[in-house]
Structures are given as structure tokens and as C-alpha cells.
Amino acid sequence: MRHAGTQEIETPRLILRRLFPQDADGMYVNWANDPDVTRFLRWEPHKNAAETRQLLEAWATLYPNEDYYQWAIVEKATGQVFGSISIYNSLLGEPQQKAAWPGLDLSEGIWEPGYCIGKAWWNKGFTTEALRAVVEYWFKNTNSNWLACCHAAANPASGRVMQKAGFVYHHDAEYHKFDGTPVSCKCYALTREHYNTLYK
């Protein structure tokens, strides 16, 4: 599969760029420390900015890999970094889900966007704008034929974001937090064919 790595993306209101260790304070304050933000995610809130910086230092070592996709979400109007969005191979973390995608090519894994933004930026369309931009980047710069996208069943707002970006409900599943806690999820798919009809 052809990959493109994490390159900068611009939308009307956002800059999507690589996250750097110097973003640690902004990331910690704006979203990583907030249990309301991480409630439905796999990871727990960060205890301090040093923990956030340590994570960003680890991510920085991965950016040279062309199959690594991790963006900061930056608001153009303020320059604030207020969220992150990634595309990752979820088959590596949840191998049992392979059988849940009949008829779709799994030879390159199951590539799935994941995202979170600070509470002060909720309900303003920013997540949808970022997800649509990343979807377009994916289909223009890779030769992948589809993307998956999943959300906790208890978080239907995330599902609405996926639908606005063109994803179509596919099946229910169970994912696991990093500590092993099971989470009931709803999974969506967006094929290249459907993308071509939506993103013109």
C-alpha cells in the first residue's frame, strides 16, 4: 500500500500539522487532562504536562515513518492547538475484529481515524471539518480502498461527525481501552467508491 505520512493540511478554519513536544502545555490544558474529553477514548486523562510531553516526544520519533498519521488540530483564528486527529491501523490492536468486515480488503489492515478536541471547541463543527480534511487527504494520497471509523455506543455525537464525513454504519463491535476495559462500539465504513461520489 502506498503511504504519504503526516503532511500539513489546511481547511477554512484549521491547520492540521504534526504535534511537537513544545505543544505539551497546550495539549495538556486544552484537552488531555479533561476526563470529559477522554471519557470514551482508550486512554486516561494525563496527570500533568510532563506526561503529555513524554508522549509527544515518543510520537516525534514516529513521524519519519510514511505509515504514521498524527495531526494537531490548530484553530487559525487563535493559533491554539485544541485537539488531535490520527489514522491508525486498528487491526493491530483489535485482531478479533477482522471477521467483522466481510467484503472489504483487509490485506493492508484496517485503517481508522481517531480524534478528540477540547471541550471549549465542541459543537462548532471543528471535528467534522478536521475529519473530512483527513479523509480527503487519505484518499488523494494513498491507494487504500476504504477507511473504518468507530465510536463508543454511548457517544452518539461522534457518530454524527462520522456520518457528516460520509461514513456509513456497518456493524456493532466491542473494543477495549488500554487498561482492558471493554467498550461497546458502533463501526462505520467509507469506501473509495462512496468517497468519489461525495467529495467532488
CA distance 118 to 182: 24
| Inside any domain, residue 55 | yes
| Residue 103 pLDDT exceeds 90 | no
| Residue 169 pLDDT exceeds 70 | yes
User: What is the band of 179 on the pLDDT scale with cuts at 50, 70, 90?
Assistant: confident
| Inside any domain, residue 3 | no
- pTM to 2 decimal places: 0.94
| Inside any domain, residue 29 | yes
| Inside any domain, residue 129 | yes
188 neighbors 162 (Cβ within 8 angstroms)? yes
| Axis-axis angle for helices 126-141, 156-164 (nearest 10) | 50
pLDDT at residue number 93: 62
Which secondary-structure segment (H or E) carries 127?
Answer: helix 126-141
CATH value at residue 145: 3.40.630.30
How many domains are there within the chain?
1
| Inside any domain, residue 127 | yes
pLDDT at residue number 41: 87
120 neighbors 67 (Cβ within 8 angstroms)? no
Which of these ranges, 9-18, 91-100, 147-156, 180-189, has the smallest mean pLDDT? 91-100
Instruction: Please report, rounded to a whole number, the percentage of residues in the chain having pLDDT higher than 90.
Output: 82
For residues 20-30, give the mean pLDDT: 98
Q: What is the residue range of 177's domain?
A: 9-198
For residues 64-90, give the mean pLDDT: 97
**Which of the 8 DSSP states describes residue 97?**
G
| Inside any domain, residue 1 | no
How far does Cα 1 stand from its chain's mean position?
20
For residues 90-96, give the mean pLDDT: 69
Encode pLDDT of 33-73 as tens digits. 999 999 888 889 999 999 999 999 999 999 999 999 999 99
